[in-house]
């Protein structure tokens, strides 16, 4: 399979002889008649297609395309080439394009193959949503693998707690893979829940599929060990323990035997492979529970680390921990970016990691040595009982941060507020602690970047040959206040407007009875699926409160909302009916279940809730907090793209990521509040994206200047695909989002949210010239 080099990136191109194309056409007739649309016309070989054959563009995760047909000079002529209706379902998916076939998630989460030149449906592969319990559909993308002779081509999709292997030409399950085409993602994980989700599709490398996981965010979550499976059979090839075991490096950075009861330290974000060297770079997430760590004294390797492993064996190569003993949920999850730069007169291959704390860390790709010094500096310490935070944290000394790292009352944005709210917010912020690495405590702390920002998934890219790295980030603060586990989190810790303030939190009536146990199965799905928006206590963060949802809507109403979505909430059709029943049981009594049992649909089954080991005396105290996200209280920009020149260590430019028209007229962009889409980088010198507000933007790569905008049918999610078919360049977007989370956010008096458009996949291209 030939590879053609473009700078320091690799673009896979497929070249077939006329004979091979005729054989391919014959196979297409046998398997799917509709495949004639993209095979061979009149028996003659077409011009080979340049595709988007890996998640977010390639194993280097660069979002980069070598195509140059769409340029700064003609980008204003971009128009819709074709549209495919996505239908109902949760699509945060980044398409693939191999040869002339586009692969997308649509129609209740099915894998759908389309003619990449016309958008015509070729086949659809649905995923079972009944029978057993599954986690959630996390189709942020998919993977492609092919044998050397291209006789075996597979699409690999993680959804519903399983990894599926699907024939890329026919859409049929690959029966020889694991259990008739699907692999249980609990395989190889100790203390795995009823289902283990994967939020990104992992990476294929040679004959391996390498996977991270998403373990949930509660206390006593399962460990997030990294695994590689044989892509032919699904058999486990290697595993790396992210919470070290006795004899493994890093074991002494945890309490004794922590691997038996601690969890998280998972790779739920994107990771990157240096194909030439066979090195895989993982951004490893925080330990759980992520905002309080009295049960995990120490620095907690490999949490919050950039971890380099041998891709073939899983052997440890090097690591760097960006946050010690994380209590801010500052785990990195954007893909590490590869580039080649001139440093001290020499060309150096580097890897750059953006993090949620707003820093970009840059290292020698082979040795792990920082390109510029990173200093350990003293930071404030926690005042919570039992907590022992690290006395220092690492600070890059040359690379400036890409996100805001402090907020005071002087940064308050009042554009959406009534006069009463202005007074209330000024008083609240003036009393709160603030500053980077200030631990959350018993009084309110302003944390910026907040719990879900600055840098988040699919938000980084690179033009590797130029040494340029681009980082998308959010300037969204969180306001945190810890309370003992079992008590209700005050509503004003969830950032509600004054008319809804409950300034006197009461003990949670559901917490009565120390011997009672949570409805674990529904809680597991809730933590993996819902907690990021609705909060750990159901009081709501980005989404509305759920503590009374069952009594208001009834079980059938809740089931309908989960399956179909409602307002800004996407549907989750891949949660099976049994899993929905478990979630409803959890919503009815989130802190209680009959002692010694767990709710399992309409029956009770024997179940022992996991707890700390019996010899762990005394049991550590537990505290919790909501995510307290407050997007609109800080002055804009609310999100940005930052361009770094890694040859100099300087920021070249920073541009707001779209706009929020609900904020009123403005001569400048202000960014989206919660962007859910990523950008692509074109070799012609463009950076292109569609934001939440149904607007396409084309930026000059050198300056960040907006060269062109136009309306799009809907807001985007995921990363678009850039490809060429028949000599025509396309950019394919998943326009299935709408204004992100706008239904639950404050608007200015009389403000109106932009309505969401139709959910569809839309390919843009230049007009065809005759």
Q: What is the pLDDT of residues 284-325, one digit of tens each?
A: 999 999 999 999 999 999 999 999 999 999 999 999 999 999
Q: How confident is the model at residue 212 (pLDDT cuts 50, 70, 90)?
A: very high
Lowest-confidence range among 549-558, 706-715, 746-755? 746-755
Instruction: Enumerate domains of the chain plus CATH numbers.
Output: 55-480+630-765 (2.140.10.10)
**pLDDT of amino acid 609:** 44
pLDDT at 570 over 70: no
Angle between helices 549-564 and 577-588 (to 10 degrees): 160
Q: Which of 376, 377, 354, 353 is nearest to 363 (CA)?
A: 353
**pLDDT of amino acid 661:** 85
pLDDT tens, position by position, 250-267: 999 999 999 999 999 999
pLDDT tens, position by position, 379-421: 999 999 999 999 999 999 999 999 999 999 999 998 878 888 8
Lowest-confidence range among 298-302, 367-371, 584-588, 609-613? 609-613
Return the higher-pLDDT residue of 769 and 701: 701
**pLDDT of amino acid 663:** 82
Per the CB < 8 A criterion, the answer to whether 112 and 95 are in contact is no
Alpha helices in 494-638 (DSSP H): 520-529, 531-534, 549-564, 577-588
What letters, b where the CB count within 10 A reaches 16 and e where it falls short, cover 634-672?
bebbbbbbbbbebbebebbbbbbbbbbbbbeeeeebbbb
486: left (phi over 0), alpha (psi -120 to 50) or beta: left
pLDDT at 512 over 90: no
Mean per-residue pLDDT over the chain, rounded = 82
**pLDDT of amino acid 93:** 78
Per the CB < 8 A criterion, the answer to whether 405 and 453 are in contact is no
Return the higher-pLDDT residue of 271 and 587: 271
* Ramachandran angles phi, psi of 744, nearest 5°: -105, 10
Mean pLDDT computed over 132-151 = 72
First and final C-alpha spacing in the chain: 34
pLDDT at 131 over 80: no
Cα 676 from Cα 450, distance rounded (Å): 16
Cα 726 from Cα 39, distance rounded (Å): 11
Strands (E), 662-747: 680-682, 686-690, 695-700, 706-711, 717-725, 728-735
pLDDT at 731 over 60: yes
Q: How confident is the model at residue 600 (pLDDT cuts 50, 70, 90)?
A: very low
Return the higher-pLDDT residue of 641 and 133: 641
pLDDT at 566 over 90: no
Cα 203 from Cα 335, distance rounded (Å): 12
* pLDDT above 70 as % of the chain: 76
Mean pLDDT computed over 688-695 = 95
Rg (CA), the chain: 25
* pTM over the 0.75 mark: yes
Q: How confident is the model at residue 161 (pLDDT cuts 50, 70, 90)?
A: confident
Per the CB < 8 A criterion, the answer to whether 188 and 228 are in contact is no
pLDDT at 503 over 90: no
Mean pLDDT computed over 12-41 = 37
């Amino acid at each position: 399979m030939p590879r053609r080099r473009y700078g320091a990136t690799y673009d896979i191109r497929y070249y077939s002889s006329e004979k091979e194309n005729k054989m391919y056409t014959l196979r297409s007739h046998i398997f799917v008649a509709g495949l004639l649309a993209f095979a061979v016309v009149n028996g003659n070989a077409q011009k080979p297609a340049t595709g988007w054959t890996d998640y977010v563009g390639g194993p280097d995760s660069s979002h980069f395309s070598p195509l140059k047909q769409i340029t700064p000079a003609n980008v204003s002529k971009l128009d819709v080439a074709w549209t495919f209706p996505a239908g109902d379902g949760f699509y945060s998916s980044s398409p693939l394009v191999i040869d002339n076939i586009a692969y997308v998630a649509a129609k209740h989460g099915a894998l759908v193959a389309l003619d990449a030149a016309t958008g015509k449906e070729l086949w659809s592969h649905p995923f079972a949503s009944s029978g057993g319990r599954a986690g959630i559909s996390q189709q942020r993308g998919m993977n492609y693998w092919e044998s050397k002779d291209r006789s075996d081509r597979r699409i690999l999709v993680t959804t519903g707690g399983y990894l599926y292997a699907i024939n890329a030409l026919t859409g049929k399950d690959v029966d020889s893979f694991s259990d008739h085409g699907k692999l249980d993602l609990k395989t190889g994980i100790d203390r795995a829940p009823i289902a283990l989700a994967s939020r990104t599709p992992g990476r294929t490398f040679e004959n391996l599929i390498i996977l991270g996981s998403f373990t949930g965010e509660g206390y006593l979550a399962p460990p997030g060990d990294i695994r590689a499976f044989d892509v032919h059979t699904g058999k486990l090839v290697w595993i790396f323990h992210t919470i070290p075991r006795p004899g493994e490096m890093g074991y002494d950075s945890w309490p004794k035997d922590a691997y038996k009861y601690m969890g998280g330290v998972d790779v739920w974000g994107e990771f990157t492979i240096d194909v030439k060297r066979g090195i895989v770079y993982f951004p490893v997430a925080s330990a759980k529970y992520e905002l309080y760590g009295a049960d995990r004294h120490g620095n907690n390797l490999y949490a919050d680390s950039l971890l380099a492993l041998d891709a073939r064996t899983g052997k440890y190569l090097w690591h760097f921990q960006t946050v010690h003993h994380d209590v801010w949920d500052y785990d990195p999850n954007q893909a590490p970016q590869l580039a080649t730069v001139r440093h001290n007169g020499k060309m150096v291959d580097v890897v750059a990691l953006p993090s949620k704390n707003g820093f970009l860390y840059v290292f020698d790709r082979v040795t792990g040595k920082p390109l510029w010094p990173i200093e350990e500096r003293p930071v404030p310490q926690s005042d919570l009982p039992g907590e022992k935070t690290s006395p220092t944290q690492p600070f890059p000394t040359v690379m400036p941060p890409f996100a805001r790292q402090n907020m005071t009352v002087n940064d308050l944005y009042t554009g959406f507020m009534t006069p009463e709210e202005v007074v209330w917010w000024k008083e609240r912020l003036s009393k709160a602690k603030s500053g980077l690495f200030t631990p959350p405590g018993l009084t309110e702390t302003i944390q910026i970047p907040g719990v879900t920002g600055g840098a988040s998934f699919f938000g980084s890219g690179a033009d590797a040959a130029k040494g340029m790295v681009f980082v998308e980030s959010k300037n969204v603060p969180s306001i945190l206040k810890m309370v003992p586990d079992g008590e209700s989190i005050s509503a004003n810790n969830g950032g509600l407007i004054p008319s809804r303030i409950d300034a006197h939190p009461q003990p949670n009536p559901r917490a009565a009875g120390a011997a009672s146990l949570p409805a674990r199965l529904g809680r597991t799905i809730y933590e993996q699926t819902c907690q990021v928006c609705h909060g750990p206590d159901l009081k709501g963060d980005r989404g509305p409160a759920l503590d009374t949802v069952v009594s208001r809507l009834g079980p059938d109403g809740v089931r309908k909302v989960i399956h179909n979505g409602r307002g800004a909430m996407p549907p989750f059709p891949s949660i099976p009916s049994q899993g929905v029943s478990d979630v409803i049981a959890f919503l009815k009594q989130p802190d209680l279940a009959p002692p010694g049992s767990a709710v399992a649909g309409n029956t009770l089954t024997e179940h022992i809730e996991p707890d700390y080991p019996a010899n762990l005396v005394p049991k550590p105290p537990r505290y919790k907090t909501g995510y307290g996200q407050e997007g609109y209280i800080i002055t804009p920009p609310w999100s940005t793209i930052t361009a770094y020149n890694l040859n100099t260590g300087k920021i070249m430019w920073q541009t707001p990521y779209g706009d929020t028209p609900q904020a009123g007229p403005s001569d400048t962009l202000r960014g989206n509040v919660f962007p859910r889409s990523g950008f692509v980088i074109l070799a012609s010198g463009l950076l292109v994206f569609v934001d939440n507000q149904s607007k396409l933007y084309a930026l000059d790569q050198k300056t960040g200047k907006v060269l062109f905008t136009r309306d799009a049918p809907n807001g985007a999610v995921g990363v678009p695909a850039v490809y060429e078919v028949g000599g025509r360049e396309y950019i394919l977007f998943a326009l299935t989002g709408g204004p992100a989370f706008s239904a639950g956010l404050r608007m200015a008096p009389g403000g109106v949210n932009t309505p969401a458009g139709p959910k569809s996949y839309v390919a843009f291209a230049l007009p065809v010239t005759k």
